[in-house]
């Protein structure tokens, strides 16, 4: 049974790849002084380890990494590559890895360091699997071409050889994997508010969610 800090703000965000949820969650976390965790980055970190150290990669290595994991470890730019993203989508289907990662996520969600007012997590199954009793639940999405353009621009800064068509193909493949996997698939829960970012800039998205949060916490 996990210990839970009382009177904290808990925000859960689910979204498909490159919908803008990470940028939005960071802005919200900074504004309300919440611990921010991009849960997908944990799977990306494990995927990166598998690709970088294939001969050493095993459950023992994963256990050790998760046990010593700090949020700042997830800021490695190598985790953003398309190859790592595709591998992460496959790794996330592994029951043992998922159980380990979930424990880490749940602990941070309910027990953020005391300097924070609460927590804000984004991923694929946060609203129903990690923080089912979140104070705020959002499903952030955008059409697939818009998401591919956003990811392409991100990746172009790292890898100048990548093409838009490759990124679009990769995102479609990840969507299919995330939605159809048997364990913790990506889905919108009935109690999640839909935020479509296709035609909204970062500031407009932030203000839309801020208004929803302020209305509840200020009443």
List CB contacts of 85: < 8 A, sequence separation 6 or more.
17, 44, 47, 170, 174
pLDDT tens figures, 133-188: 999 999 999 999 999 999 999 888 877 788 999 999 999 998 998 899 888 899 99
Give dist(CA 81, CA 151) in Å, integer: 10
Q: What local confidence, expressed as pLDDT, does residue 26 receive?
A: 96
Residue 203 lies in a domain: yes
- State the CATH number of the domain containing residue 173: 3.40.50.300
Whether 81 maps to a domain, the answer reads yes
Q: Is 88 inside any structural domain?
A: yes
Residues 53 and 64 sit within 8 Å (Cβ to Cβ): no
Q: What's the mean pLDDT in 212-217?
A: 95
In a domain, 2, yes or no: no
- The angle subtended at Cα 97 by Cα 94 and Cα 102, nearest 5°, is 115
Q: State the average pLDDT over residues 20-27.
A: 96
Tokens linked to 201: 């800039």
Average pLDDT over residues 120-125: 96
Asked if residue 38 has pLDDT above 70, the reply is: yes
Q: Give the whole-number percent of the chain exceeding pLDDT 90.
A: 80
For residue 214, being part of any structural domain is answered with no
pTM of the model: 0.92
Q: Is 93 a member of any domain?
A: yes
Counting the structural domains of the chain, the total is 1
Residue ranges making up the domain that contains 40: 9-209
């Amino acid at each position: 049974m996990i210990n839970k800090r009382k009177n904290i703000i808990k925000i859960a965000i689910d979204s498909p790849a490159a919908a803008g949820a990470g940028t939005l969650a960071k802005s919200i976390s900074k504004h309300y002084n919440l611990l921010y965790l991009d849960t997908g980055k944990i799977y990306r970190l494990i995927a990166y380890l598998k690709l970088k150290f294939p001969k050493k990669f095993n459950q023992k290595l994963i256990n050790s990494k998760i046990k010593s994991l700090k949020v700042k470890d997830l800021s490695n730019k190598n985790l953003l590559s398309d190859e790592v993203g595709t591998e992460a989508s496959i790794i996330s289907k592994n029951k043992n890895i998922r159980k380990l990662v979930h424990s880490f996520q749940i602990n941070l969600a309910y027990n953020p360091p005391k300097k924070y007012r609460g927590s804000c997590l984004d991923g694929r199954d946060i609203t129903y699997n990690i923080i089912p009793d979140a104070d705020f639940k959002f499903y952030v999405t955008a059409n697939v071409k818009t998401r591919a353009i956003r990811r392409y621009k991100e990746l172009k800064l790292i890898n100048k050889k990548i093409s838009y068509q490759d990124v679009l193909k990769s995102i479609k493949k990840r969507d299919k994997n995330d939605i159809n996997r048997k364990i913790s698939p990506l889905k919108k829960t009935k109690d999640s508010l839909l935020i479509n970012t296709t035609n909204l800039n970062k500031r407009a998205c932030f203000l839309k969610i801020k208004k929803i949060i302020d209305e509840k916490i200020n009443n």
